Amino acid sequence: MQAAIQTLENLFYEKILLYQDLVECLKRERSSLIKTDIDGLWEISDEKQALVSRIEAVRKRILEVLSEASIDHGMNVSLFRLANVLSLIPREHRGRFKKAYLSLVSLKGEIHQRSQENKLFIEESVRFLDELIGIIAGADQPKPVYNHARSLTSKGHTNLLLHKEV
């Protein structure tokens, strides 16, 4: 059991390192978004995918260690919950995991926040480009109907990128 506890502790710290790498990727992603560095964004996307795969491998390994230690966890990689893993560790060993667990929770929150910020930045940028293209193309200007009279039905904003004429 002591070997399983040591292995689990090492896996927790390995997961912390992977989460820290993911935070750094999200920081670089934001910088690349601001610079509109498409090549950099593709590289970062590949790196994020590789990190996610490695995180899933660590999750799988944690579940394997629990199974090898004859601890019934009832989880698979997609249903992995770190809080559940912590609750399965015997009380006398749980103290060694608390700091790592809190670090992981904190990093997970930061990853979620940075991911949401990047997503919002992309949405705002696309909205800005849509409006800019609409202005350039004159989509906001009413079009003459008969004898250069204005149409009453074309006053609303047309979302040029998301609009398709039939």
pLDDT higher than 50, residue 166: no
Task: For the chain, give the number of residues.
Answer: 166
For residue 59, what pLDDT is reported? 92
pLDDT at position 139 is 59
pTM, two decimal places: 0.74
What pLDDT, in 10s, does the model give residues 114-165?
999 999 998 988 888 888 887 887 755 555 555 555 444 444 555 555 554 4
- The distance from CA 84 to its chain's CA centroid, rounded to whole angstroms, is 22
Residue 48, C-beta contacts closer than 8 angstroms, at least 6 positions apart? 22, 25, 26, 29
- For domain 2-105, is the CATH number 2.60.40? no
Segment 39-83, tens digit of pLDDT: 999 999 999 999 999 999 999 999 999 888 877 777 777 788 888
Instruction: Write down the pLDDT at residue 144.
Output: 52
Q: What is the pLDDT of residue 152?
A: 47
Place of tokens 């989509």: 139
Helix (H, G, I), strand (E, B) or coil at 86: helix
